[in-house]
Structure 1
Amino acid sequence: MAPVKVGVHVSIAGSLDLAVDRAKDAGCDVFQMFSRNPRGWGFKPLSENDCALFRQKIKTTGLLPVDHMPYLPNLASPKNEIWEKSVQTLQAELDRCGRLGIPYLVTHLGHHLGDGIAGGRTRVIKAVNRTLAGSDNAVMLLLENTAGEKNSVGSSFEHIRAIIDGIEKSDRIGICFDTCHAFAAGYELRTKEGLEATLGQLDGTLGIGRLKVIHVNDTKGDLGSGLDRHEHIGMGFIGEEGFRHILHHPVFAPLPLVCETPVDDRRDDRGNIGKVRELAA
């Protein structure tokens, strides 16, 4: 079996191209980043120099970049001002990815804030349709499954399917599968049988071909807990044996794997990349 392609989320502090340097220094094959400050609505426009430097370093290193939407946008929000700003952010991020040569943009589907799952889904569909209609590049938008926390949209494969069914340019839609979120939402991943059952459901509902990126995260919450708390690989409820099954599975093994794991006195990013490679060997 070919070696897995694994990496982590890296900082863009200083300049965007430094994210590529940090990813290379950490031993990444793939890396995820925010193309801008993830904690605010405002952002600095990209210059042609920014784009050229980033693209050149990607070409030189051969690394695969993945962008992630910032924290504040909520595509399912019933609050019109927040929803509009979220749509504008999504539009801007798709454009930035196109200019930077980033093929994938990962987005959470948001929270309906008690207004009901159907209304939340409708707003997500409207947001995605509007942004893709105004996007002239080939960047693929990856919908990320959620952990089943209160008022969340997208914790089940069926909910994600209902969103995709409403999207006009569905060829521009893929899936980012988060292991922590799936497990917290009630999908068993720790055993061969459980993993096969989960992937069978995913294939039957969404289609395995839509899987483009995997967020490889252990979890501090037990099966079906609804708790979105990431843990070091093998140190949480999924555990090392669970990740052996995941990382040796022919569906997951060839896909880009991104760890969004803690950095603390127990382990750093290099340590989690190393643990993934160890368990995949």
Structure 2
Amino acid sequence: MVQTRRSTAVAASFPLTSPDSHPESSKRRRTALAGESDNGASTKEPPRRKKRTKTEDKPLTEDFPVRVSGSWKIGAHVSAAGGVENAVRNAAIVGANAFALFVKSQRKWDSAPLSAESVDAFKSRMQEFRYSPKHVLPHGSYLVNLGNPDEEKRQKSFNCFLDDLQRCEQLGLELYNFHPGSTVGQATKEESIALIAECINNAHKMTKYITTVIENMAGSGNVIGSQFSELKEIIGHVEDKTRVGVCLDTCHAFAAVRASFSVSQTFHRDFRDTTSQQKLDGISAFDTEVGLSYLKGLHLNDSKAALGSKKDRHENIGLGHIGISTFRHIVSDPRTQDIPLILETPTFEATEIWTKEISALNRLSLIDDSEVLEAELSLVNEITSLVRSHAAKKTEKASKTEKASKTEGPSKTRTRKRNTTEDQDHDSDCA
């Protein structure tokens, strides 16, 4: 077992509170907000509203969950709010041995460059918390569509894509995961696949070493990448095949199953082609059609939607249609060792759900076959209990917010609803 060390330097860089070093008196606050000086005279400049800051306590490193030393590197897509360096600490907080992050806002075309201080802090924390770059899988922007036949729009996507790759290299990271794109109904899939590969080739020439990792998709609309054959075709057009790979998303694979496939309720069984009657588990099917050497990571997500639904609806481990047995097979399969296995499951604003899921998956990777059924049931019950508790809290909070919003006006109501929306389908046609 490996336990993260406490660091005075890290603790010092994360103060527990953010007190105002220059507090005003109550009278001064009132007069300032009213636009008056102490003697009642009008001020020349309009008042500035004081920025609200969070002051909640952050856990000390000694309070972090124990990180299991194992062959399967299980983690989650954690927040990088406040700076990319915070993602490293957030991964340690949930007991992750791997993690994903956005290296800039995933919903903006342009972002400010990474500061030298942020880059240095990220690298320092990677060492402090003992994370390897090969176990970090940054996720690309949802805006990018490298398959768009419109040259101007595709160039805009490419610029955003390239910027992400360059940021990853600044941070010393080795992998970059992205959604391949869409035809937007204006090209054939073959044409869009060629455009995606062309963008990858150009990006490789403009970067040093980063590996571009294509994610399989759930299959809605005109999206590219829901079938292994499409991933294989993209890779076939890439010139430097040492710098391209695939991230398999279990929810997407479950949702994208073709009608010509007869598949059981689990990802690890019965990818059966009706023409050849060849029976393969999901990873073996990938190995046969694409090649295991291209498998660079997995997204571990159960599915709220049924098999073949083409809907990208993530569910907590063991609570969806895929089932916990599938994930036990994945985290005990030697072919998934030493690559990032990343949770993108709902947290209901409570990251301890990821802590529970990571712990459960680590236990499943080590369990004796004779204890499987009892252990699976126990772990599902633990996850279910925690998820229900936090889901109820979030529902209650949303209800209170909605009631408060009604008294504040319709514009604030719209904003708050948008901020609390879950289960957005990012497997739709891209820009």
Could you state the TM-score of these two structures normalised by the residue count of structure 2? 0.62
Q: Does 1:12 align with 2:80?
A: yes
- Work out which of the residue numbers 286, 292, 304 in structure 2 matches 1:208: 292
2:251 to 180, 191, 198: 180
What is the letter of the counterpart of residue 205 of structure 2? A
| Deviations 1:135-155, CA, capped at 9 Å, x for gaps | 1x2111101111111111011
Alignment length (residue pairs): 280
Give the Å deviation of 1:268: 2.2
For 2:340 and 2:153, the matched residues in 1 are separated by 32
Deviation at 1:227, TM superposition (A): 0.9
2:202 to 130, 134, 145: 130
Deviation at 1:30, TM superposition (A): 0.6
The equivalent residue for 2:370 is none
Quick one: which of 259, 263, 266 aligns to 1:190? Answer: 266
> Equivalent residue for 2:12?
none
Percentage identity across paired residues of the two chains: 32
Deviates more, 1:251-260 or 1:25-34: 251-260
How far off is 1:253 after superposition?
Answer: 4.2
Query: Which is further off, 91-100 or 257-266?
Result: 257-266
* CA distance 1:171–1:3, shift in 2 (3 Å): closer
**C-alpha contact 1:261 1:272 (8 A) present in aligned 2:** no
Amino acid at match of 1:210: Y
- TM-aligned CA distance change 1:150 to 1:174, over 3 Å: same
- Greater than 4 Å deviation, 4+ residue runs: none
Which stretch shifts more, 264-273 or 78-87?
264-273
How far 1:47 moved relative to its partner? 2.1
Distance (Å, rounded) in 1 between the aligned partners of 2:337 and 2:305: 24
TM-score normalised by L of structure 1: 0.93
1:45 & 1:118 partners in 2: Cα distance? Answer: 35
Do residues 78 (structure 1) and 149 (structure 2) align? yes
Q: Deviations over 1:208-249 (max 9, x none)?
A: 111111111111122211111110011111111222222222
**Farther-moved stretch of structure 1 (28-37 vs 190-199):** 190-199
1:32 to 100, 110, 123: 100
> Are positions 1:94 and 2:178 aligned together?
no
Alignment correspondent of 2:328: 244
Distance 1:103 1:164 in 2: 18
Rounded Cα–Cα distance in structure 2 between residues aligned with 1:30 and 1:180: 19
The equivalent position to 1:271 in structure 2, one of 343, 347, 356, is 356
**Cα distance change on mapping 1:253 and 1:233 into 2, 3 Å:** farther
**Please, which runs of 5 or more residues in structure 1 have no aligned partner?**
none
Contact 2:145-2:182 within 8 A present in 1 as well: yes
CA positional deviation for 1:3: 4.7
Matched-pair contact (CA < 8 Å) for 1:75–1:109: yes
**Match status 1:113 vs 2:184:** yes
Is residue 280 of structure 1 aligned with residue 351 of structure 2? no
Using a 3 Å threshold, how does the CA distance of structure 1 residues 15 and 265 change in structure 2: closer, same or farther?
Answer: closer
Whole-angstrom CA distance in 1 between matches of 2:201 and 2:269: 37
Aligned CA-pair RMSD: 2.0
- Deviation per CA, 1:74-110, whole angstroms, max 9, x where unpaired? 1111232321111111111111111101111001101
Distance 1:250 1:3, change over 3 A: closer
Distance in 2, matches of 1:36 and 1:27, equals: 23
Higher strand share: 1
User: Could you tell which deviates more after superposition, 34-43 or 46-55?
Assistant: 46-55
CA contact (8 A) 1:98 1:139 kept: yes
Name 2:58's counterpart in structure 1: none
Gaps of 5+ in 2: 1-68, 272-279, 367-431
- Partner SS for 1:118: helix
Distance 1:76 1:47, change over 3 A: same
Please say if 1:55 is aligned against 2:118.
no
Structure of higher CA gyration radius: 2
How many Å separate the matches in 2 of 1:191 and 1:214?
12
* Bigger RCO of structures 1 and 2 (CA < 8 A, at least 6 apart): 1
